[in-house]
Structure 1
Amino acid sequence: MADSTGGNLRQAYSSVCSLGLPVIILICLVLVLVLWRLTRFTLLPLLHPEEPREVPYWTPFLGHAISYFRDPTRTLTYARNYFKDDRKPLTINLAGEMMYVITAPGDVTAVYRNSSTLTMDIFTQDLMRGFGVSESSLDRVFTEPNKDGTGLQLMAPNPNRKSLAHLTTDHFRMQLSPGDRLTQMGNITLAYVEKALRWENMVSQKFVIAHTSSYKDISLLHFCEEVILQVATRSFFGDALIDKNPNILEDFLQFDDVSWKLMYRYPRLLSPNMNKAKDKLIDALEKYFNLPQEERPGANWFVQMEEAEFRNFGVPVRDIAKLIASIYWVINTNTYKLLFWMLEFALHDLALLQKITEELNTCFNLDGTLDIPSLQSQSPYLTALFHECLRITNTSSSARLVTSDTRIGPYILRSGRRLLIPYQQLHLNTAAFGPNPASFDYTRFLSDPKLPRNPSFRPFGGGASYCPGRFVAKQEIFMAMAFLLCRFEVGMAVDGVDGKQKQNFPRRDDAKPGIGIVSPVRGDDLVVRLRIKN
């Protein structure tokens, strides 16, 4: 028996040796890799059940970094579905950086309520550094005023002794929340949109492709860009910013197209196109703030207040331009894209288009003026379209830094790690949006009037990051659609000698890292034909 066993061992040893050294090394490496994966993703989670589960991978250190960079939405969807979509906190490894991902509505609410150990400041500062703001200016705007009244003090009332950076967010809300200031902005917006959407004024080569005496063919994407960016810029800064810098909107669009490189902290050497466009935007704003006040009338309360506070803090004009440039980007990056998608979906559903047009017609007074409040109260189909487009085209996320160990339900988030709330993953919650959440269906918001308040619906974030621009964005979009659909017969331009409509629905550019409303794939658009209504 002993001789037989020994013979078998010698035979096995000879067989292994006959494989050759490279094959033996490869087998050993595979065994080590399997043992490592079994230990890390099976054994350790059993020993530490309070740790959010890590999504397994086969490439040590790199983890999911490559797939996340190529398509973050697909990577996060895979991560969520790996754990059977149970919506519990999870962890993904991005080249050694362990990041928590939160997708359960209750956990998201808990994160929003915790501003003491879950902070956004580091990400706000990174954004400002990306725009080139100096460290001395960052230190000034993030330093809280002294209790005894010494040192830098804000001009505006500041009973809670907030830093200028945090008070800026309060000022932004005060400007854009319902009230006198938003009403004033709404009137400016209304006047511009009404004028811009007159037949005789729609002549810009930026969006008019072809025209005759009876119709105009326009690029829908470029039309949305022109109208929304013009009105937003003029309602914040008056006319001087555009009049003194005629190319500012083109520079902004060039920057916006690749702005994800700034968010992902690309080195300047690897992002020359982004930095060139960003620098032009900053140059335009610096030129604007160097003008005497009397040469740039019409700026809204927020812009005037922030300029005064920055100057009061001794922030150089170049840094003021950089700080305002980051706000200008936030103001403008999403609204024109959302209008584009809303019109796309409506034009591909003629029954919906007719319903929206009928209800918008009721929002006009007998003298032809548009009644702004009725846009909110008399447009259920348009509102449902607005919400559904927000739900399926929003690829933004909210991020936090864990500053000390924090408990979320049964799990502990460790200090020093980053936390991500990807809104699109919330918007794919079957418990809130039914069995086919990835499909477009505006009727879900008609059949359930409470759905916009569902904690799984977070297109504008929440808590301290709750976007104050949600009111003005909706107002701008609804005004533009009211004048467009009620003044003109709107349809897809015909393509081909047979007169049939052949235009494809634009594709979403999901491969681009998401930082807001998703863009269409470059080159994808819709050519729309406008005719004056009789």
Structure 2
Amino acid sequence: MGDFGCTDITIQKMFQREGGSGKTWMDVCHGDFKLQMHPGEKLDVMQAAFLGNIDRLLQWDRISGTEVLSSSERVKKVSLWRWCGNVLVDSATKAFFGDAIYRVEPTIVPDFFPFDDEAWKLPYRYPEFAAKQLYEGKRKGEKAFTRYLSLPREQRQDASWIVKKIERGMADMGITEPTQCGAMLFTLHRLVNSNAYRLCFWTLSYLLFDETLLSTITEEIRPAFNAVDDTLDMNYLLDHCPRLASLYEEILRTVNDPIGARVVAQEATVGGKTLRPGARLLMPYKQLHYDPDVFGPNAAGFDPERFLRNKNLLKSTSWRPFGGAATLCPGRFLARREVYMFVALVLFRFDIKLAPGPKGETPKFPVLDDSIPSGGVLGPVPGDDVILEVRLSGRM
């Protein structure tokens, strides 16, 4: 919270227990996130808005932003990295904060990406000369959400339930300064946007570089589409597409770098090291995901049917793509729906194929940038994009 602009007084109020033993505001906030993001009425409302935005942006005439490298009447050459980012971040921003955030900061979406690229540096206290776009993005984000909260509430009625709940909760604690509630909303904006577009990028990358896998997944999801009214049945994708689910889990296993943070409660010895009470631990869960004793002798490679063959992997204590215990990510349900929606609509509405290189060379699969301790889904090394040729699908 301090990294994102909250003062010591604000943080103290957030974590102060009522009566010395009750729940803190942050405890209540965690519960509110589960109400918003776990399956139920509030997720249904959020999902309808969020997925509706993805649907709206994945139309032929809406492929027109910075993702388009060149265009003709029938073919658009598109950056997959930018396409995934522009659609997913725009969709989430509108679903959570409504139209008002665009009125106070029209560049809220493009401003997000330079900040997100360097946001991992924030908890490591990088000096500004070594993280210029991080701090510039941070200042822009803080100002945007401060101005957002300065608007009359009636102009922000299309915001999500969780955004309104955070604002009311902070006001109840006596935290009414827009910069402080704005810091919380700025944090929320980054949390809901940082991972899903990266997952979409890797999912489509693996599909495009494996024609057999692409054909298999396309056939499996085909019944989810209604060609008459151009709609998608999300429940079918969630309940009747086991190969899509296995692919999704395997991508999470290989491109995600989740880190768990814990405080030692009592003295313990692990690997010959004595851990003292009060010490803070960072646990890199990704190491668990490459354990051959759990995930098989081919754990170092990519196997899209790994979770199809062995469904017990999802119950393994070595499976931690979204953290664990009290800090298990509440956004995991919405993230899956985002990725499914984006990938399925792209495969259904468009004919896509890899574009040859500038000199006609065969495209190469992007390299995962595992040099960054991000704590989330990793991107490709800088410049390792996937360039597509996109046409309207003959199925339309």
TM-score, L = length of structure 2: 0.94
Q: Matches of 1:449 and 1:403 in 2, distance apart?
A: 34
Segment of structure 1 superposing worse, 467-476 or 189-198:
189-198
CA contact 2:98–2:160 (8 Å) conserved in 1: yes
Aligned residue for 2:201, secondary structure, equals helix
CA contact 1:432–1:456 (8 Å) conserved in 2: yes
Corresponding letter in the other structure for 1:358: E
- The aligned residue for residue 8 of structure 2 is 135
CA contact 2:258–2:323 (8 Å) conserved in 1: no
The one of 330, 347, 364 equivalent to 1:468 is 330
Corresponding letter in the other structure for 2:322: F
Tell me the CA shift for residue 270 of structure 1: 4.4
- The aligned residue for residue 517 of structure 1 is 377
Tell me the CA shift for residue 273 of structure 1: 2.8
Q: Matches of 1:270 and 1:130 in 2, distance apart?
A: 16
CA contact 1:363–1:378 (8 Å) conserved in 2: no
Q: Matches of 2:7 and 2:220 in 1, distance apart?
A: 50
- The aligned residue for residue 484 of structure 1 is 346
1:531 aligns with 2:373: no
Q: Matches of 2:283 and 2:196 in 1, distance apart?
A: 21
1:390 aligns with 2:252: yes
Q: Percent of aligned pairs with the same residue?
A: 36
CA contact 1:360–1:486 (8 Å) conserved in 2: no
Aligned residue for 2:290, secondary structure, equals coil
- The aligned residue for residue 41 of structure 2 is 180
CA contact 1:394–1:516 (8 Å) conserved in 2: yes
Corresponding letter in the other structure for 1:167: V
**Cα separation, partners in 2 of 1:267 and 1:497, compared to 1, 3 Å:** closer
CA contact 1:352–1:381 (8 Å) conserved in 2: no
Tell me the CA shift for residue 190 of structure 1: 2.4
Aligned residue for 2:232, secondary structure, equals coil
Q: Matches of 2:290 and 2:327 in 1, distance apart?
A: 21
Structure 1 stretches lacking a partner, 5+ long? 1-127, 148-159
CA contact 1:217–1:528 (8 Å) conserved in 2: yes
Q: Matches of 2:19 and 2:387 in 1, distance apart?
A: 58
**Cα separation, partners in 2 of 1:497 and 1:138, compared to 1, 3 Å:** closer
The one of 143, 148, 163 equivalent to 1:283 is 143
1:113-152 → structure 2 map (5 Å cutoff): 128-146=1-19
Segment of structure 1 superposing worse, 215-224 or 319-328:
319-328
Q: Matches of 1:522 and 1:277 in 2, distance apart?
A: 19
State the Cα RMSD in Å.
Answer: 1.9
Aligned residue for 1:471, secondary structure, equals helix
Corresponding letter in the other structure for 1:273: Q
Q: Matches of 1:379 and 1:391 in 2, distance apart?
A: 19
TM-score, L = length of structure 1: 0.70
Tell me the CA shift for residue 412 of structure 1: 5.5
- The aligned residue for residue 287 of structure 2 is 425
1:81-480 → structure 2 map (5 Å cutoff): 128-146=1-19, 161-204=22-65, 206-268=66-128, 270-315=130-175, 316-365=177-226, 367-406=229-268, 413-480=275-342
Aligned residue for 1:494, secondary structure, equals coil
Q: Matches of 1:192 and 1:132 in 2, distance apart?
A: 30
Corresponding letter in the other structure for 1:130: D
Tell me the CA shift for residue 383 of structure 1: 1.1
Aligned residue for 1:479, secondary structure, equals helix
Aligned residue for 2:388, secondary structure, equals strand
Q: Matches of 1:416 and 1:306 in 2, distance apart?
A: 30
Aligned residue for 1:399, secondary structure, equals strand
Corresponding letter in the other structure for 2:223: T
Structure 2 stretches lacking a partner, 5+ long? none
CA contact 2:203–2:248 (8 Å) conserved in 1: yes
Aligned residue for 2:162, secondary structure, equals helix
CA contact 2:258–2:322 (8 Å) conserved in 1: no
Tell me the CA shift for residue 470 of structure 1: 0.3
Aligned residue for 1:162, secondary structure, equals coil
Q: Matches of 2:368 and 2:10 in 1, distance apart?
A: 38
Aligned residue for 1:250, secondary structure, equals helix
Q: How many residues align?
A: 392
